[in-house]
Amino acid sequence: MQRALTCSLEEDLRPLVRLLRSRGVVHRVSEERGMQVVWVVDEATADIVKAVYERGLEDIPNMAPHSVAETPARACWRQSYRLIPATLLVLLATALVAVFTGLGSNIQNVVLLTFTPLEASGYLAAQPDMQQWWRLITPIFIHFGLMHLAFNALWFWELGRRIEMRSGALWLLGLTLLIGVISNTAQWWWTGTDGLFGGLSGVLYGMLGYCWLYQLIAPNVYFALPKGVVIMMLVWLALCMSGLITVLGFGAIANAAHVSGLLVGCLFGSIAGALQRRL
């Protein structure tokens, strides 16, 4: 089980326990080294319980269930989505762009969001147009195919919510925009000024590097990724760079975006972790 919170033996946790029971949340309260420990089944539930507790036990009686028929999953979601507005905002924008571009099949709409604009000749411009500054970031929302979208969206959900719960919505948005601009620019420069690319993967590798280095320097529950995740993603990166994935028919891979995103994420993860450790 996952440790949700620890408090003194004198603290009355009965209001919290009643709330968890009313919502159908599986939990256990134990005593360790003179302290009360609340355990739940997973990290996501632990984050919710911690957030409820931090609001104050005196407010818990007012948080009665809206309906006896409310399921535990629905109750958890209703509590958790308020903690990750930036993660949901980015995923919503990605979904809307996927519909707008027909998952990359509607070229007329795709070129409205590419890194460089379309010229009168019908080709993408060789240089970015700084008057259309949004193009520096919008390629991260373009996805080519359902598998491309699903893979990136699931990983953004996994990594984005961890960063947002640890550091807040503004930090996640700032990190996403920064890594997005740098990884997009690197990919455009590496491919010889070809502006037709897209996907969240450069940002995802940046977020992975951020969590990885931060956790190595200043361990915390939010960035404790499952064992093997970092290794798996690095192996996937190596396979992509080898050209094998493209040969197998998965399409062109934005390797420059992946590598630059990973390096930027590692850099900022190291800085943020070092600053946190000094506190």
Question: Which residue shows structure tokens 């007012």?
Answer: 62
Position 250 pLDDT exceeds 70 = no
22 and 137 in a single domain? The answer is: no
Mean pLDDT of 110-120: 91
| The domain boundary residue, chosen from 21, 49, 81 | 81
What band does 79 get if pLDDT is binned at 50, 70 and 90? low
Beta bridge partners, 5, equal: 38
Q: Verify that 67 and 98 share a domain, yes or no.
A: no
Q: How far apart are CA 162 and CA 167, in angstroms?
A: 9
* Same-domain check for residues 54 and 152: no
CA–CA distance, 268 with 209 (Å, rounded to integer): 9
Band of residue 115 on the pLDDT scale cut at 50, 70, 90: very high
Domain ends where: 55, 81, 107? 81
Looking at the fold, whether 22 and 155 belong to one and the same domain comes out as no
Whether 58 and 91 share a structural domain: no
Q: How confident is the model at residue 272 (pLDDT cuts 50, 70, 90)?
A: very high
Give the CA distances from residue 174 to residues 87, 167, 184, 224, in Å, rounded to whole numbers and listed in that order. 12, 11, 15, 22
208 and 122 housed in the same domain: yes
Active site residue 258: yes
pLDDT of 126-138, one tens digit each? 888 899 999 999 9
| pLDDT mean over 20-24 | 75
Do 135 and 244 lie in one domain? The reply is: yes
pLDDT digits (tens, 9 = 90+) for 40-73: 877 777 888 888 887 776 555 554 444 434 444 4
Output the average pLDDT for the chain. Answer: 85
199-214 pLDDT, tens per residue? 999 999 999 999 999 9
- Evaluate if pTM is beyond 0.85: no
The yes-or-no verdict on residue 158 having pLDDT over 80 is yes
pLDDT of the residue at 64 = 45
User: With bands split at pLDDT 50, 70 and 90, how would you rate the model's confidence at 225?
Assistant: confident
If 0-12 CB within 10 Å is exposed, 13-18 middle and 19+ buried, where does residue 92 land?
exposed
Q: Which amino acid is at 167?
A: S
* Domain final position from 52, 81, 110: 81
139 and 65 belong to one structural domain: no
**With 60 as the cut, is the pLDDT of residue 223 above it?**
yes
Exposed, middle or buried by CB within 10 Å (0-12, 13-18, 19+), for 168? middle
Give the C-alpha separation, 18 to 37, whole Å: 16
Average pLDDT over residues 1-22: 83
Q: Are residues 67 and 198 in the same domain?
A: no
Here the CATH number for the domain that contains residue 97 is 1.20.1540.10
Q: Exactly one of 105, 258, 260, 270 is catalytic; name it.
A: 258
Domain count, the chain: 2
pLDDT over threshold 70, residue 78:
no
Three-state SS sequence of the chain? CEEEEEEECCCCCHHHHHHHHHCCCCEEEEEECCEEEEEECCHHHHHHHHHHHHHCHHHHHHCCCCCCCCCHHHHHHHHHHHHCHHHHHHHHHHHHHHHHCCCCCCHHHHCCCCCCCECCCCCECCCCCHHHHHHHCHHHHCCCCHHHHHHHHHHHHHHHHHHHHHHCHHHHHHHHHHHHHHHHHHHHHHCCCCCCCCCCHHHHHHHHHHHHHHHHHCCCCCCCCCCCHHHHHHHHHHHHHHCHHHHHHHCCCCHHHHHHHHHHHHHHHHHHHHHHHHC
Are 184 and 153 found together in one domain?
yes
Confidence of residue 11 (pLDDT cuts 50, 70, 90): confident
Same domain for 23 and 138, yes or no, is no
Domain that holds residue 56: 2-81
240 and 137 share a domain?
yes
Catalytic one of 201, 242, 260, 270: 201
Nearest residue to 139 (alpha-carbon basis) of 208, 172, 209, 186: 186
CATH of the domain at 55: 3.30.70.2080
Residue 224 pLDDT grade (very low, low, confident, very high; cuts 50, 70, 90)? confident
Please confirm, yes or no, whether 201 is among the known catalytic residues: yes
